[in-house]
Amino acid sequence: MKTTLTATYRTLQSQVGRASARMQQSLETAASGVRLNKPSDDPSAAASVISTESQIRDSERFQSTISTAASQLDNLDSVLDEVENLMVEAKELVLAAGNGSLGEADFEAYSQQMKMLKEDAYALANTQIEGKYLFSGYEFNATPFPDTEDPSLYQGDDNHVELQIGPGQKVVTNVTGAELFQGQGGGINILGLLGDLEQNLGSMDMEQALSRLDDLEVGADQVRGYRSKMGTSAVRIEEAGVRMQEFTDSMETKLSSIRDADIVEAYSDLAQQEQALQAALNVTAKISQLSILDYF
């Protein structure tokens, strides 16, 4: 077979062109550190990149919800702590009043103290955080217990606010006023109890007041019960946060393994392509040195 000048240069040109295109690609990969710049670079990985990025965004979103839920439960816990302390104080007050003989003025003082405790309880029941009532279910804007003289009046609803803290994982972040303070579902109406005690002390009916000591204990347990229930939620949230962080980390690793270039490989590739191009150019130079015209 005869070789023509055109054929030789055509082949060289195609080789040099191919080599420099490959070098350009390696250069891009090495410089950007990214192996996948466009879908055709690896079509099967393109869909994984998009879905992995989407999952990372998902879990970042869940993490932000988790931190919000955690701080809400923190707030709730400190309020419940105060309610619990208040119950203990009320019990001590009744015990102190029942201890020994007291005069009318003493009873008046005890009654006043009990009234203050009751008012504190109402204040706690009407706690607002960021302008929203904590114990009114979905009715963020309705004062749950508007009338300190009417413990059975509740303006909130019985709904529990749920937040999504993971795929398919929801957690309740509130206790309704009806459950906690009115004892809805077989509990004790704490607000009513405090009001009754205030009246008993005011009317110096010690017998009646002492008979409610058990109720005070049951009420305190009611508060503790909800507190521990919400505490369990808080633990769940914390665990979900840790899990979500781990998930995000593993997704980041996955994304990086699909999309990012192995830097060592990228550099050695680059060196290899550089050599290939150099070789192609060298050969081209050699060819032009060899000519039949030199022999005439």
Partner 1 sequence: MSGLSDALNLGKTSLSTHQTLIDVTGNNIANVNTDGYSRQNVDLSTVPALNFRGFQIGRGVTASNIQRAEDTFLSRQILDKNAALGEQSAQATPLAELETIFNLGDGNLTSKIDQFFDSWEQLSVTPDGTVERDTVLQYGTLLTDSFHNISQDLADLSQQVDDALTSKIGDINQKLQQIVEYNERIATVESTGISDNASRDARDSLLQDLSYSLGIQYYENQDGRVNVQLSTGLPLVSDKQAFSLEAIPTTSGSKLQLDLGTATRVVDNQSLNGEFKGLVSLRDEFLPKVRDDLDKLAYSLATEVNALHAGGTGLDGSTGKAFFSTAPSSDPSASPWSGASASIEVALTDGNQLAAGQSAASGDNRNALLMAALGSSEVIDGTDSFGSFYGKMTSYIGIESSQNQLSVSGLEDSMVQLENLLDAKVGVSLEEEMINLIQYQRGFEASAKLLTTVDEMMDTVLSIKR
Cβ at position 256, least distance to partner 1 in Å: 14
Q: Which helix (H) or strand (E) holds 16?
A: helix 5-32
The CA–CA distances, whole Å, from 109 to 7, 100, 106, 114, 211 equal 114, 15, 5, 9, 20
Task: Give yes or no for residue 286 binding partner 1 (CB under 8 A).
Answer: no
- Site size for partner 1 (CB under 8 A): 57
Sign of CA dihedral 217, 218, 222, 225: positive
Q: Give Dmax over CA atoms of the chain in angstroms.
A: 141
CA distance 30 to 178: 64
Task: Give yes or no for residue 40 binding partner 1 (CB under 8 A).
Answer: yes
Encoded one letter per residue, x for contact with partner 1 by CB under 8 A and - for no contact, window 256-285 reads ---x--------------------------
Residue with tokens 């919000």: 68
Nearest in space to 48 (alpha carbons), one of 262, 266, 253, 241: 253
Task: Give yes or no for residue 11 binding partner 1 (CB under 8 A).
Answer: yes
The three-point CA angle 121-123-128 to 5° equals 130
Task: Give yes or no for residue 137 binding partner 1 (CB under 8 A).
Answer: yes
Cβ at position 264, least distance to partner 1 in Å: 23
33/167 with CB nearer partner 1: 167
187-246 binders of partner 1 (CB under 8 A): none
Q: Which two tokens stand for residue 56?
A: 């990372």
Cβ atoms within 10 A of the Cβ of 176, count? 24
Task: Give yes or no for residue 18 binding partner 1 (CB under 8 A).
Answer: yes
178/201 with CB nearer partner 1: 178
Which range of residues in 10-18, 75-83, 182-190, 206-214 is near partner 1 by CB under 8 A?
A: 10-18
Task: Give yes or no for residue 33 binding partner 1 (CB under 8 A).
Answer: no
Q: Are 29 and 272 in contact (CB under 8 A)?
A: no
Residue from 16, 102, 109, 161 in contact with partner 1 (CB under 8 A): 161
> How large is the angle between the packed helices 104-125 and 43-98, nearest 10 degrees?
170
Which range of residues in 89-97, 130-138, 205-213, 265-273 is near partner 1 by CB under 8 A?
A: 130-138
Residue from 28, 89, 138, 210 in contact with partner 1 (CB under 8 A): 138
Buried b (16+ CB within 10 A) or exposed e, 158-170: eeeeebebbeeee
Residue from 24, 32, 146, 167 in contact with partner 1 (CB under 8 A): 167
Residues engaged in binding partner 1 (CB under 8 A) = 1-7, 10-11, 14, 18, 36-44, 46-51, 53-54, 57-58, 61-62, 64-65, 68-69, 132, 136-141, 157, 159, 161-164, 167-168, 170, 259, 291-293, 296
